[in-house]
Amino acid sequence: MDPTEILRSAGGVLLRRDVLAAGATETALRRAVRSGQVVRLERGVLAVAGADPELMAAGRARGLLTCASAAPKYGLWQLRSAATPHYWHSNGRSAARCVSHRLPLTQQPQHRTLAALPDVLLHALLCLPELESVVMVECAYNRGDIEPGHLFRLLDGNRCGKARQVLSKVERGADSLLETLARVLFRDAGIATETQVWIEGIGRVDFLLEGFLIVEIDGIAFHMEPRQYKKDRRRDNAAIRRGLPVLRFFYDDVVYAPESVLAQVREVLARGSLRWPQPNQPSFRQDWV
């Protein structure tokens, strides 16, 4: 069997012995190395030419890419990229300048250099700051790739209490990591927060706080869609005409200035019920339960 095909099917990096065990012959392997189709990363570790550099680095470290470093491989939301590689190691192995995870794996790895998704998320919950792990897990949950209950069952040790608390904040329904961040911000502040609410005559809104304040979150590319921009502003006008105040926040607000967002929300909430009377109460429906 062609050693390059064996390597590609396994993510691009394998131990030499695994390539041979998969059906490659010594002759074919030597020929592939001479032609440059296969590269020796170090003794006993091979990669197909052009393999993912991060997976090759994991192969050199004899580890699995996991946690924040594995998030892009699974297309997960990420608040910030990993500054240092996160690897899972076994048998006491470690690598310099990396974050080493040693929690026993719960599933067979995706391949030789990438941990399975449930383990990636478990490592994130136990390693990363709260918001960074919440957005990763919530992305996977929204796509139907994982159930929080499955992760809860795996987080059963005494040292997993904080991770379970973080996991309890995961919900279905957010359209983006910004909505996840905003929801956690509002609820942690003790604000009654409904998400993805349909209001008759207005449409679906991102958040309804304390039953009357609409909050909308605009992503980085919102200004690139003139039609959506106009639709949003007309919806804001409809809400205000019906006595419901509207606040809009942007990526930089939610990610870099959450305290300012919270201060503005609290200011409106503090005077809202007096300043915006609602003689004709609109009809609300929450789309996500």
Among the candidates 167, 187, 214, a domain finishes at 167
In a domain, 116, yes or no: yes
Region of poorest pLDDT, from 100-104, 192-196, 220-224: 220-224
Among the candidates 128, 147, 167, a domain finishes at 167
DSSP the chain: --HHHHHHHTTTEEEHHHHHHTT--HHHHHHHHHHTSEEEEETTEEEETT--HHHHHHHHTTSEE-HHHHGGGGT---SS--SS-EEE--TT---TTSEEE-SPPSS--SBTTB--HHHHHHHHHHHS-HHHHHHHHHHHHHTTS--HHHHHHH--SGGGHHHHHHHTT--S--SSHHHHHHHHHHHHTT--EEEEEEETTTEEEEEEETTTEEEEEE-TTGGG-HHHHHHHHHHHHHHHHTT--EEEEEHHHHHH-HHHHHHHHHHHHHHHHHHS--SSPPPEEES--
221 and 156, same structural domain? no
Q: What is the pLDDT of residues 111-164, one digit of tens each?
A: 889 999 999 999 999 999 999 999 999 999 999 999 999 999 999 888 899 999
Which of 88-97, 100-109, 184-193 is most confident?
184-193
146 and 91, same structural domain? yes
Instruction: Give the predicted TM-score (pTM) of the model.
Output: 0.84
In a domain, 230, yes or no: yes
How far apart are the C-alpha atoms of 63 and 57, rounded to whole Å? 9
| pLDDT at site 231 | 74
**Mean pLDDT value across the chain:** 88
105 and 154, same structural domain? yes
Among the candidates 167, 202, 220, a domain finishes at 167
In a domain, 172, yes or no: no
199 and 163, same structural domain? no
pLDDT at 242 over 90: no
65 and 46, same structural domain? no
192 and 241, same structural domain? yes
| pLDDT at site 277 | 47
Range of the domain at 22: 3-51
What is the average pLDDT across 175-192? 96
| pLDDT at site 9 | 87
In a domain, 250, yes or no: yes
153 and 69, same structural domain? yes
In a domain, 47, yes or no: yes
What is the average pLDDT across 253-267? 96
Q: What is the pLDDT of residues 196-228, one digit of tens each?
A: 999 888 888 999 999 999 999 987 655 556 676
87 and 152, same structural domain? yes
In a domain, 17, yes or no: yes
29 and 95, same structural domain? no
Query: pLDDT > 70: what percent of the chain?
Result: 88
152 and 183, same structural domain? no
Question: What residues form DSSP beta bridges with 218?
Answer: 250
Number of folded domains that form the chain:
3
Looking up residue 260, the CATH number of its domain turns out to be 3.40.960.10
| pLDDT at site 116 | 96
In a domain, 39, yes or no: yes
229 and 183, same structural domain? yes
In a domain, 258, yes or no: yes
65 and 47, same structural domain? no
